[in-house]
């Protein structure tokens, strides 16, 4: 596809304008009109193929039947049309006059939005992106995050987009300056990073439920919400102005005017993926506050659906659980929700139809059910599958990814695999106004992914490296950790034993073999007392459970699916010494935070992902006179190790010729 021209189609003085659809001599790139004609022919081929293969249910052939000058639905609606004719004051009229063409000024240096969406990447660039090795070539200090730095791919853009607030549209900018006041500057650092449109992985974000994390988490959340709002308002402004032009001149031929390339296959452009409804409430409430649009009608709807309670409590309810547990699970813990948010010129509308929404807020569980249909209905499930509203997502934000990891990471991964696919049905799209990179099926290379978590895991790395292919590049936070060993309240010898694992695919088997051959025989022969056996994943939990059953071992277990009655019985048997081994999973600890009493020896089969859990587990040995902790790990556990023992100590553990280490 050719590089888009500026909005103006006037020829330079003294030069005749070329006939529509022709190519200048010596040029290799097609003009927009010719490019769209070619795409139209290609979509005709897709439509014919769809007719030959009806199981695909593709209607792109129907989509292209729209006349070039017709507006159809055009991802606008009656509210937009009404808003376009409802300028109520002199300021708005002046603003409309003064900024008449700024939405189409693709050369505006301060507007990263236009720079991002107007560039047309080549097939060579696409091939390079698909084969990229994700080597981070530059780094800059993360000034507001201790012991951290940002590393990135591509050209170092430090300072290139420092004044992003200057590129924000007037009403948004004025509103943020008004409600954020002195807090605005702290938001602009991460907002500036988001506005570069690069993929971002921030995996050292202090969550609101940890001590001192509320202000930091709120600042990061405000930043990505501001970026999403700016993107939505920029997108909508172009569509509404183009709609107005076509209504004023219905006969206008838009084929050779690339300023009308303003849409995707469907309207939703931003996707927020969140783990719990209480967190969704927190995000949506703040989104409404950061929007300058009318909040009168939306607040009532918001309270009706989300309740009246505050999202954050200064003093958590008194309980025997840790404070962070009470804060995280004090609200609505429902993990299945999916709804749309629509922006018009005057107001924000919650729970709008997906295809007339600008933002989709969802949990991975709800989205995967929408994608797969209701499995309980068998063959009827396929008829209910509908996820075309994910076809044109341009910004995907995953917040609290570490909590999603405790639910089901496979759901999140499956959702990302379905983003930016060709739609299977017609949704009122005018193909003559679709951006070229959608027609070329390059949308995933334009999608920005922002992944936020309190810690990093191999699963997050795999998603970020494998399914995030933004042509703008990637930015990742790298942190040096001090570790959490200082939080252990008693003197406990902690023995770290390293086993060999040559690759990530062999690591699980190598760990299991080491346990069966080296660790379990010692547990059988030992008279040291009761053993608390901790595992971090459900797969490991099932594997060890089956092994202990086969060995007819004296054990009980607490997993995420264990009933409350069995949990109470297991804790009692272990405390009284009726069972020698208690098998305990990280997910169970995350959702319940039990304090297991009676343990003399803690065996950590696999280190917890959450660094806070390690001292909690070791401190459970406080009632024992002869307490001992054994941890076994491989070189592939570096990410977990550095959060627990510190970055420098972790490097020594994985690189030393020795295989046994002791911390006291």
Identify the three-state secondary structure at position 369.
Answer: helix
Report the pLDDT value the prediction gives residue 255, as an integer from 0 to 100: 85
Residue 39 vs residue 523, higher pLDDT: 523
What pLDDT score was predicted for residue 90? 39
460, 452 contact by CB (below 8 A): no
Asked whether residue 388 carries a pLDDT value surpassing 90, the answer given is yes
Of the candidates 1, 7, 68, 10, the residue with the CA atom closest to the CA atom of residue 30: 1
Better-predicted residue by pLDDT, 103 or 385: 385
538: CATH:
3.40.50.300
Q: Does 428 map to a domain?
A: yes
pLDDT of residue 578: 94
With CA atoms as reference, report the closest residue to 316 among 306, 329, 307, 334. Answer: 329
DSSP of 171-235 = HHHHHHHHHHGGGHHHHHHHHHHHTTT-EEEE-----TTSTT-HHHHHHHHHHHHHHHHHHHHHH
Mean of pLDDT values over 47-54:
40
Model pLDDT, residue 664: 82
C-beta atoms surrounding 576 within 10 Å: 10
User: What pLDDT sits at residue 51?
Assistant: 41
Return the higher-pLDDT residue of 486 and 383. Answer: 486
- Rounded CA separation 352/356 (Å): 7
* Structure-token pair, residue 609: 């992902």
Per-residue pLDDT, 61: 35
Note whether residue 14 is domain-resident. no
Which percentage of the chain shows pLDDT scores above 90? 63
d(CA 507, CA 526): 27
Domain count along the chain: 2
Q: Which range has the top average pLDDT, 11-25, 317-331, 453-467?
A: 453-467
pLDDT tier at 420, thresholds 50, 70, 90: very high
In this structure, are 498 and 446 located in the same domain? no
In terms of domains, do 218 and 200 share one? yes
Lowest mean pLDDT among 8-17, 152-161, 534-543: 8-17
31 part of a folded domain: no
Mean pLDDT of the chain, nearest integer: 83
Residues 367 and 346 in one domain: yes
Which domain does 189 fall in, by range? 129-249+260-309+322-374+384-479
Residue 398 is classified by DSSP as E
Rounded Cα distance, 661 and 495, in Å: 6
pLDDT at 107 over 50: no
Predicted confidence at residue 435, as pLDDT, reads 95
- For residue 35, pLDDT over 60 is answered with no
Do the domain assignments include residue 270? yes
For 10, half-sphere exposure in the C-beta direction (CA atoms, 13 angstrom radius) is 4
pLDDT in tens, 546-577: 999 999 999 999 998 999 999 999 999 999 99
Same domain membership, residue 429 and residue 542: no
210 in a structural domain:
yes
Q: What is the pLDDT of residue 373?
A: 80
pLDDT in tens, 603-650: 999 999 999 999 999 999 988 888 999 999 999 999 999 999 999 999
**How high is the pLDDT of residue 168?**
85
Residue 323 pLDDT greater than 50, yes or no: yes
Question: Does residue 435 share a domain with residue 561?
Answer: no
**Lowest-confidence segment of 246-255, 540-549, 589-598 by average pLDDT:** 246-255
> What pLDDT does residue 638 have?
96
Percentage of residues of the chain with pLDDT beyond 70: 78
Question: Once rounded to an integer, what is the mean pLDDT over residues 520-544?
Answer: 92
Among 165-179, 206-220, 600-614, which is the least confidently predicted range? 165-179
3-state SS of 455-479 is CCCHHHHHHHHHHCCCCCCEEEEEE
Same-domain pairing of 228 and 364 = yes
> Could you tell me if 472 and 562 lie in one domain?
no
Find out whether 418 and 387 touch, Cβ atoms under 8 Å: yes
Tell which phi-psi region holds residue 504, choosing left (phi > 0), alpha (psi between -120 and 50) or beta.
alpha
pLDDT confidence of residue 32: 47
Last residue of one domain, picked from the residues 414, 446, 479: 479
- Give the end of a domain, one of 479, 504, 523: 479
Kindly state whether residue 123 falls inside one of the protein's structural domains: no
* pLDDT of res. 4: 42
| Per-residue pLDDT at 304 exceeds 90 | no
The answer on 459 and 434 residing in a single domain is yes
pLDDT digits (tens, 9 = 90+) for 454-512: 999 999 999 999 999 999 999 999 999 999 999 999 999 999 999 999 888 899 999 99
Task: Return the axis-axis angle of helices 214-248 and 184-194, rounded to nearest 10°.
Answer: 60
| 511 and 575 inside one domain | yes
Task: State the pLDDT at residue 609.
Answer: 95
Q: How far apart are CA 305 and CA 623, in angstroms?
A: 46
Average pLDDT, stretch 105-120? 74
Pull the structure tokens for residue 28: 């290799």
Residue 384 scores a pLDDT above 60: yes
Q: For 263-288, write each residue's pLDDT tens digit.
A: 999 999 999 999 999 999 999 999 99
On the question of pLDDT at 224 being above 90, the answer is: yes
Residue 62: the pLDDT is 36
Q: Within this chain, do residues 400 and 521 fall inside the same structural domain, yes or no? A: no
Tell me, yes or no, whether 81 lies in a domain. no
383: pLDDT strictly greater than 70: no
Considering 438, 458, 479, which residue would you say is the last residue of a domain? Answer: 479
Let me know whether 231 and 217 are in one domain.
yes
Q: Is residue 197 part of a domain?
A: yes
Residues 508 and 596 in one domain: yes
More confident residue, 154 or 164: 154
């Amino acid at each position: 596809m050719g590089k888009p021209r500026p909005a103006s189609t006037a020829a330079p003085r003294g030069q005749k304008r070329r006939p529509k659809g022709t190519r200048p001599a010596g040029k290799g790139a097609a003009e927009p009109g010719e490019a769209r004609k070619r795409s139209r022919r290609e979509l005709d081929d897709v439509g014919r193929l769809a007719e030959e293969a009806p199981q695909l249910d593709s209607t792109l052939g129907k989509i292209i039947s729209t006349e070039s000058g017709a507006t159809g639905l055009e991802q606008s609606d009656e509210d937009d049309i009404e808003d376009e004719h409802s300028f109520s004051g002199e300021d708005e009229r002046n603003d409309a006059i003064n900024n008449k063409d700024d939405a189409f000024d693709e050369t505006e240096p301060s507007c990263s939005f236009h720079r991002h969406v107007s560039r047309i990447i080549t097939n060579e660039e696409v091939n390079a992106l698909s084969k990229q090795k994700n080597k981070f070539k530059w780094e800059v200090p993360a000034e507001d995050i201790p012991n951290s730095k940002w590393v990135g791919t591509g050209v170092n853009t430090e300072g290139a987009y420092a004044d992003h607030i200057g590129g924000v549209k007037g009403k948004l900018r004025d509103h943020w300056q008004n409600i954020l006041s002195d807090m605005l500057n702290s938001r602009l650092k991460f907002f500036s990073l988001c506005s570069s449109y690069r993929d971002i992985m921030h995996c050292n974000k202090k969550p609101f439920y940890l001590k001192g994390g509320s202000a930091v988490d709120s600042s990061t959340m405000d930043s990505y919400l501001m970026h999403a709002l700016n993107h939505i308002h920029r997108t909508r402004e172009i569509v509404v102005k183009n709609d107005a032009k076509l209504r004023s001149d219905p006969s206008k031929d838009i084929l050779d005017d690339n300023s009308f390339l303003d849409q995707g296959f469907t309207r939703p452009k931003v996707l927020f993926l969140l783990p719990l409804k209480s967190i969704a409430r927190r995000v949506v409430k703040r989104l409404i506050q950061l929007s300058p649009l009318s909040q009168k009608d939306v607040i009532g709807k918001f309270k009706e659906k989300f309740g009246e309670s505050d999202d954050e409590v200064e003093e958590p309810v008194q309980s025997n659980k840790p404070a962070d547990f009470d804060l995280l699970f004090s609200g609505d813990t429902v993990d299945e929700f999916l709804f749309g948010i629509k922006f018009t010129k005057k107001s924000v509308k919650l729970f709008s139809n997906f295809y007339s929404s600008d933002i989709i807020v969802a949990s991975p569980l709800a989205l995967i059910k929408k994608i797969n249909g209701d499995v309980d209905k068998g063959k009827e499930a396929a008829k209910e599958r509908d996820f075309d509203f994910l076809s044109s997502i341009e910004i995907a934000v995953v917040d609290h990814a570490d909590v999603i990891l405790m639910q089901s990471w496979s759901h999140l991964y499956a959702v990302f695999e379905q983003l930016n696919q060709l739609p299977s049905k017609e949704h009122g799209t005018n193909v003559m106004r679709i951006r070229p990179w959608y027609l070329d099926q390059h949308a995933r290379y334009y999608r920005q992914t922002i992944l936020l978590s309190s810690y990093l895991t191999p699963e997050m790395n795999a998603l970020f490296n494998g399914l995030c292919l933004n042509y703008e590049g990637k930015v990742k936070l790298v942190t040096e950790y001090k570790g959490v060993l200082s939080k252990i309240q008693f003197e406990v010898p902690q023995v770290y034993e390293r086993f060999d694992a040559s690759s990530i695919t062999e690591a699980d088997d190598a760990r299991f073999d080491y346990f069966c051959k080296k660790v379990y025989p010692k547990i059988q022969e030992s008279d040291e007392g009761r053993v608390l056996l901790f595992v971090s994943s459900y797969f490991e939990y099932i594997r060890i459970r089956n092994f202990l059953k086969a060995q007819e071992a004296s054990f009980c277990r607490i997993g995420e699916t264990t009933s409350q009655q069995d949990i109470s019985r297991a804790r009692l048997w272990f405390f009284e010494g009726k069972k020698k081994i208690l098998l305990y999973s990280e997910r169970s600890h995350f959702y319940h935070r039990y304090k297991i009493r009676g343990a003399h020896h803690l065996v950590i089969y696999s280190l917890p992902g959450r660094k806070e859990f390690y001292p909690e587990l070791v401190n459970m040995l406080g009632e024992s006179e002869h307490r001992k902790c054994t941890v076994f790990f491989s070189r592939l556990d570096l990410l977990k190790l550095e959060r627990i023992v510190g970055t420098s100590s972790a490097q020594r553990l994985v690189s030393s010729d020795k295989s046994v280490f002791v911390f006291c």
